[in-house]
Each structure stands twice: as structure tokens, then as C-alpha cells.
Structure 1
Amino acid sequence: MKKWFKRAAFAAVCALHLGSAAAADVVIDAGHGGKDHGALGTLGKHQYMEKDFALDMSLQLRKHLRQQGFSVAMTRTDDTFRPLGQRLAYGRKHCRKLFASVHVNAAKNNPRANGVHTYVLQGNDATAVGKKSLQIARNVQKAFNPKRPEVRRARFVTLQNTTCPSVQLEMYFMSNKADLKKLADKRQRRAIAGKLAKVIGTSLKQRDAKAKAKPAPSAVKPQTSKPAAKPSRPRVPAKAAAKDKPAPLKKAAPKTAAKPKAKR
């Protein structure tokens, strides 16, 4: 009873905060938000927060994907905190083709770390959903980091949607000065979102085209050819057969031995 009540309460909270939107082709999860500012980065006297970059890029990503004809939903559209469990539940309920969690990376102990890193669920590569997730992550990785095309594996909560392909996109580093300058520039940041939308949109369209190109299994069972029957001999009427049948040979009488002549 307690478990049922907790589940019902959790579902009610999700519906209250995230709304009851219809299913969408793509669900975008803008990382962090509200009291959770995510990673921090400083340029001069100005401090930047990951949650702001993630939200702005996510909104731009939604705009560009809609222009390509995809329906898009978001786990947050403003500076609001959403627990990870709510984000995951929303993705499971509404996602049809892709759940994309957008973040900005950080490496305090390695300021040289830079670029885009993509993640998929660890241990899920062999499943149909895992293969689709991996393909999209690879396409994004190759588009932004052609020299480092490897996709990383992790067990992030937002990746644990086993019903819909899911990727986590770490768009550059807050801890790298060159990356942070790029993100702090509104034009460059929105160009990044536009490029990301193009890669994702192309990947989804190619996947849909392949699915349509596959021939549907035939419902009619193939006819198996039966072995050819042996040609039957023509029947001959009984009378004709009797006429044509040669007469039986008469047995020759056994030869009797000649009696010896009497001696004279």
C-alpha cells in the first residue's frame, strides 16, 4: 500500500510540474536549473552558470528541430529545478525517437580538457534502443570532434530510459577558457545549437528512411514444389494383352535311353 501511494504521489508531482504534454519525437532535457546551477566558469569578473547555457541551447535546439518537422517537448523551459527522477519519468512517457539531455562539461583538475563529449548508457549497446542511441551519439561526436569520435559510456540517471534512445550531450567545457568564451558569445552558442539540431535531425530522418525501406514480411506462405510424379504406363485391355502374350512353350518329352543291341 505504501509503495502504491508513493508511486501515485510521484506521478502526480510529475504531472503537476511537467504537464501532460502529448508524446513527442524528441524530448530535450536542459540540464540542472533553479537551485542546481551546475558547473561554474569565470571570464574576467563575470561568472557563468551551466544551467543558463544548457537552457539557452536547448531552447534553440527545440526551435531548429521544429523547423525540420519534428515534434519536441522539454523537461524545463525556464529556470526551474527538476529532480532527475521526474526528468526520467517524463522522458519515458513522452519520448518517441530521442531523449537528449543537454549539459556543459567541467574538469577542475584539467583546464586543457575541451570540446564536445557524448554519452550513452553503459552496458546497453547490444539492445535495439542502445544501438540507436549509439548511432546518434557517434554522429554528434564526429560532427563536433572528428579527431576524437569515441562515444563514452556512463550510468547517468537521464540515460536509463530503455524504451527510447537516449544520449547525454556535454557541449564543451566550463573549465576551459577557449570553450567558455565560445559559450559566452550568444551568436556562437546559438550556432552550436543549430549545428547540433542539423546532426540530430539528419540522423533521425536517415533512421526513419531505413525503417521504411525494409520490406514487410509476407503473410502468404511460399508454395513448396512437390516432386514430379513418375509417368504411369498406359493400361492395355485384358483381351489385347492375352492376344499379344506369346503362347507358352510345350515341354519336350524326355529322351529315353537307347536299348543296347543284343549280341549275336
Structure 2
Amino acid sequence: MIAALCLALQVAVPAKPVIVKNGSVQKTVAVVIAEGKSFVRADALALAMGGSVSVGANGHFALVLPNARIELMEGAPFARADSVVVPLAVAPKRTGDFLLLPLQLITDVIPRYGGGYFYDEEAGELRTFETIVKHPAPSGRVIRPAATPSSPTSKRTYARPTRRLVVVDAGHGGPDRGMSGPIGQDTWFVEKEVTLAVARKLADALRSEGMEVLMTRTSDTLIALGDRGPIANRNHGDLFVSIHVNAPGARGAAGARERGFETYFLAEAKTEEARRVELMENQAVRFETGANAQKGDPLSYIITDMAQNEHLRESSDLAQTIQDGLKEIHPGPSRGVQQANFAVLRGSFMPAVLVEIGFGSNPSEAAYLHDSANQTSIARNIASSLLTYLSRYEARVGGTN
């Protein structure tokens, strides 16, 4: 029986089981190892605790217990328990017909946020007891790190980081040309072509340094904004970098004078200029139809927001590292690190940034961005910044995670 279950789940032999104990009654919940992580089956845990599993749409489900309700989403490393959003070390997953929950729910989340539960680590027992008052965290509280970026160290000296997967996103594509305009008399600047060229060069530069790279698009095709982050999540990306070219808010001569580069991370826009760029880049949704169109799912938005808040500090640090690096080679002025609610960044459960590498509307800057050698320089510089960030991150956390 156990061997058949292991084969169905494609996991190793189960680890030591957990005992769910209620007075003199106790039940056993098997712990299974999948991809080196410890899980329990959602249905088995619910049965042992006298609860149920409520399955919703789009990967959402809830573990409903007598004294707790925990809402989760497949692939999202967060749970909502008693109105508190809690980061999970491992995301829930589906394997075949089974929903697998991280063991952390038993050892930490249920005892902390449910009423009348205690986990005895030494005995491997989750015990239930009668309780009159429970003391959850304040309602609506969200566990999130501070948004202030840490101060980057010297940028060009880094130890080679562990092999990581970097997801490189070339902005726009297919019918979505992005910004476009003439350069002189014989050349036409098209953002989707420039972003793809730089993204390819960035991928090459990262691979040459031993990094794994996944590109959201490698040709002139449309990838929905809402699909780009999930592509990174499904492939367990460590970083997400989206390449774009800026365009001004003003028209005519005033707009043509705008120049410079800036790097964004996902947060509420603080300035009118950031809101303008956010609106401009998010307009790509008008090209999305049918299966590619984004779905309005309020709970999904909530969990996605919580996931990004978990990575807010790291995304801010990554953005600053890239911005500092581009100062070394870019002829335009640094416009600084900015924040905005970009659709392309919303679904990425990892440090994620969007880089505006310059203004295609400025004649001299457009010519600079259109030049292949300059594209290579920009790509290599961004690659160096990513390696610097990863090296510094690993030094902070003490190795891989």
C-alpha cells in the first residue's frame, strides 16, 4: 500500500509520521518527501483532525478545521490563517490526485494561528485541547519585511554565486510593438526588437558565468503580462528581470529631450512620473484576448500581493544594484530606483525588477540603444549586477536556500 502511494506521488519512502492526538484518541498522518521537502496529504490531515478540504477555482483551496481555517494556493508559498498572511518555506503542490501541504502547517501554522493546538516536536505529535480564548496576531496583519533597500557594497567585486535560474523577460512582442519611432532617415526604432536583442545578450552573458537562464520569449511573439511571472514561478526562478525602453509623457520637443535609465520594483507608485510609466507599460493588456487574457481573481491578487511583499526588500536591493551598475556605462542620466504596480511583475514570487534602459524617443539615446555593441555593453553590465546581487544575497543568508 505504502509502496503504491510512493509510486503514485513519485516521492521517496515516507519519513516518520506525525501523530494527531485528541485526548485518548490518536491518528497517524504519513509524512512524504517530494523533491527533498516534507509534505502531508491535505485529505489525510483533514481527516485526522476532523476537518475537510474545500477546493476552489484556479488552484485555491482551504483546510477547514474545527478551530482554524487556512487558505492556500497551489504553487504559492503563503497561507492565510485567521486573517494573517504567513510565509511558507515550501509552497503547497498537487501531485496526481493529491494536494500536498508543507509539514510547516502542522509544526508551526496550525498551532500558532488555530485555537487549541500544540505541536510537540520531540514526540512528533500535534495535540488538540479545549480552549476558551485564543490569541492570534491582530486581524488583517500582514507579515512583511521593510521596503528600505540595504546599502549595496562595492559592485564589481563578487564571489561567484551558486548556480541560479534567472528569468529574463523581453518586454512587449508580437502585435504589441511597444514604443517606436524613426532614427534619422533610414532606420526605425521598435521597442520589442530592442528589448529582445538586449534580453538575448543578457541571457548569453549570464550563461557564460554559469547561470541557468529562462527567457519568457525568444522570438517575436506575444506573452500575456499575467503569464510572465507564473512562467518564472513554475520553473522555480530565483530572479526575474524585465527589459523595456521608456517613452516620455510630454509630446514634441519637450518629450524628445527626455533621457536616462531607471529600474523599478513592484510597489505602489509614489510619483506622477512612476504612475505614468506604470500606465504606459500596462497598456499591453489591450493585445491580450482569449486564453491569454488575465482573469480577475480577487483572492489571487491578495496572495500575489503578499508574495511580492515578502520579496520587497530584495527586489528593492536588486533594483539599486542594477541602477548603480548602469551608471558606469550608460551615457544618459540615472533616473534612480522607482516603484510602480507593473502587471508583468505582479505574479513573480521572487525578487523581480523592470529595467527601462533608456528613452527610444530621444534621437541620440535611441541611436545608442539601437547599436548592437551598446546593447551588449548594457546586457553584460546588467548580468554583472545580477551576479553581484546574488553573491551579496548568499553572503547574507549563509549560502543557498
- TM-score class, shorter-chain normalisation, is 0.5 to 0.7
Q: 1:36 aligns with which of 158, 173, 176?
A: 176
Q: Judge conservation of contact 2:262–2:323 (CA < 8 Å) in 1.
A: yes
What's the counterpart of residue 244 of structure 2? 103
Secondary structure of the residue aligned to 1:59 is helix
| Higher share in helix | 1
- State the shift of 1:5 in Å: 8.3
- State the shift of 1:37 in Å: 0.6
Unaligned runs of 5+ in 1: 8-23, 215-264
- State the shift of 1:83 in Å: 1.1
Secondary structure of the residue aligned to 1:104 is strand
What's the counterpart of residue 349 of structure 2? 163
Tell me the distance in 2 between the aligned counterparts of 1:205 and 1:96: 16
Tell me the distance in 1 between the aligned counterparts of 2:195 and 2:335: 22
Tell me the distance in 2 between the aligned counterparts of 1:6 and 1:160: 17
Q: 1:175 aligned to 2:361?
A: yes
The range that moved more, 154-163 or 141-150, is: 141-150
Q: 1:120 aligned to 2:120?
A: no
Q: Judge conservation of contact 1:121–1:160 (CA < 8 Å) in 2.
A: yes
Secondary structure of the residue aligned to 1:159 is helix
Q: Judge conservation of contact 1:37–1:51 (CA < 8 Å) in 2.
A: yes
- TM-score for both structures, normalised by structure 2: 0.45
Tell me the distance in 1 between the aligned counterparts of 2:236 and 2:257: 36
Q: Judge conservation of contact 2:226–2:347 (CA < 8 Å) in 1.
A: no
- State the shift of 1:148 in Å: 3.9
Q: 2:316 aligns with which of 134, 142, 151?
A: 134
Q: Judge conservation of contact 1:26–1:71 (CA < 8 Å) in 2.
A: yes
Secondary structure of the residue aligned to 2:188 is strand
- State the shift of 1:25 in Å: 1.5
What's the counterpart of residue 66 of structure 1? 207
Alignment of 1:1-264 (within 5 A): 4=57, 25-45=165-185, 46-107=187-248, 109=250, 110-123=255-268, 127-145=309-327, 148=334, 150-161=336-347, 163-212=349-398
Secondary structure of the residue aligned to 1:96 is coil
Number of equivalenced pairs: 196
Q: Which has the greater radius of gyration?
A: 1
Q: Deviations over 1:64-115 (max 9, x none)?
A: 1111111110110011111112212212222432111111111152222212
Counterpart amino acid of residue 132 in structure 1? E
What's the counterpart of residue 254 of structure 1? none
Using a 3 Å threshold, how does the CA distance of structure 1 residues 175 and 95 change in structure 2: closer, same or farther? farther
Counterpart amino acid of residue 31 in structure 1? G
What's the counterpart of residue 237 of structure 1? none
Using a 3 Å threshold, how does the CA distance of structure 1 residues 6 and 69 change in structure 2: closer, same or farther? closer
- TM-score for both structures, normalised by structure 1: 0.67
Q: Judge conservation of contact 1:133–1:166 (CA < 8 Å) in 2.
A: yes
Q: CA RMSD in A?
A: 2.7
Counterpart amino acid of residue 211 in structure 1? V
- Larger relative CO (CA 8 A, sep 6+): 1 or 2? 1
Q: Deviations over 1:153-187 (max 9, x none)?
A: 11111111352111001111101112111112111
Using a 3 Å threshold, how does the CA distance of structure 1 residues 5 and 133 change in structure 2: closer, same or farther? closer
Counterpart amino acid of residue 176 in structure 1? N
Q: Judge conservation of contact 2:230–2:348 (CA < 8 Å) in 1.
A: no
Tell me the distance in 2 between the aligned counterparts of 1:95 and 1:6: 17
Q: Deviations over 1:102-131 (max 9, x none)?
A: 111111522222121111111589944111
- State the shift of 1:40 in Å: 0.6
Tell me the distance in 2 between the aligned counterparts of 1:43 and 1:192: 20
